[in-house]
Amino acid sequence: MIIKQIACCHLEGVNFSPSKVIMKTKLSLQNIKERNQPLNLGPNKGTPSPTGSASISFEESSDDNNNSLYLLVETLKKHLTTIRNCGAEEIYIYLGVWYKDQCNLAFDPEILREIGELRIPLWVSCYQDYCSEENQD
């Protein structure tokens, strides 16, 4: 049983400016990092970021029926040209799925066709929700 899903689009590029995307599209971006902004994690902490990056994400609970992926694809269909014009070169859709007991995924052929037309890779990761199991004891 699917417990929750997060559909996210990662955006990155040497000349990518998340602030330009926000200004031109009014999109709400997450995990924003402008090029040359000091990194605050990892082995390169404190050094300027060589790229700009951000993400667009939608989260849903089990009864939303893949709505987060549809919302993300519709958003990308509307704004992808502008996002690319703002310097995004590495773009992919990531679908995180949390499940209990068993994870069965099915995708509507139409949404797969639309993702294919966007020419963006789709990554899917599934995670067993151990927290829910622990809370039931």
- Domain boundaries defined on the chain: 9-90+105-120
What mean pLDDT do residues 34-61 have? 89
Average pLDDT value for the chain: 90
pLDDT tens column, 62-104: 555 568 899 999 999 999 999 999 999 999 999 999 898 888 8
Quote the pTM value: 0.85
Q: Residues 90, 56, 28, 45: what is their CA dihedral angle, to the nearest 10 degrees?
A: -60
Query: Is the pLDDT reported for residue 133 higher than 70?
Result: no
